[in-house]
Structure 1
Amino acid sequence: MSKIGAILSLLKNNKEFKKRIIHIEQLEAQTATYGTLKVRLSDRINNYLSKKKIRFYKHQCEVIAKAVKGRNVIVTTPTASGKTLAFNVPVCNKLIQDNKAKALYLYPTKALSNDQLKVVKEMEKAFGMRISPAIYDGDTPAGVRSKIRENSRIIISNPYELHQILPWHYKWESFLNQLQYVIIDEAHQYRGA
């Protein structure tokens, strides 16, 4: 019996829980659908992917191909389906090809921002890049803000901070002039006022 099956059995046999269960439905696992990437990536990225034996799912191949070609892409797939890899690969590919290129990642929460910073730092190391990723939000000390604007090639922030930055756009001129990608995670959570 699987772990999930064991948990379901435990719940069904528990006096308190079984009277609250209305319906249980088990769906069969689906086989992963892998794709073939139809765009050329940097040798550094290809070597890393080969070394780690990473295969892209079909939806990741579609996202990467469109993003590498400069298309706007929205990815709506479940949690743990590979969205992070699907957007980080084209961003890192561009940053490898163009030493001045920049990217802005927007997240709704600090936890997601911190998670992404770890991922980007791992990719920076794995791909042998110098991108100096950093979080720029309301908690960023004033003394490091200009350093981040000048040196970071990937800045991780949130929509609120972006609104705070816009009146000071002249301080961001260098970053904004080289901006190639804007990643908006959890886009379904945002709405205008």
Structure 2
Amino acid sequence: MNRVRWWAAGLAAAVALAAAPSLAAAKSPPAREGHPAQELQAAKRLACAYVQGINAGFTPQGRVNLKPPLDPNTPGLSISLVDPDRKRAVLEEDALETPGVYMLSTEGLTVFVRYPGGGVTVVTVYPMYSGASDSFLMVSSHHGAATMPAMSQRYGLCRLASETPAAPAPAPPAAPGQRHP
């Protein structure tokens, strides 16, 4: 959930900066030296959050049923490019880590993963920033099958992240005479 809060704060800041150009000049981070495509080409790890999405599924008669839009507060995902020589990646969604493969080209970064149950996810991160931010545009498409095929497509933003996930903050020390929960 920290990832969702972090992205919500970042998205709100990007909207505020876009709405107030005079504030953007005063409070924006230093300009990035690289071009978005160069930044993406050099990435080892990306942290992504969804901003909107749709669900669809087939009916027994073969028609497509669109379901209500996906909740934009759905936890995001992280992409780790673990072996550039063999084009291996790991897609991390909450506690689930799924190995996959990736392609990196001038069109962007595309990661493919296949789940043990047979479903697949394709995530594409585009080499362009979203507005005045340093977040890349992203789309994630999941195709799964249970009793009937189901699909979802989510749209979001990705940022460069440290190569190793941050460890959770330690609990504050207990005051004298109190116990930790």
TM-score range, shorter chain: under 0.3
TM-score (ref. length: structure 2): 0.22
TM-score for both structures, normalised by structure 1: 0.21
Higher helix share: 1
- Higher-Rg member (1/2): 1
Which is strand-richer, 1 or 2? 2
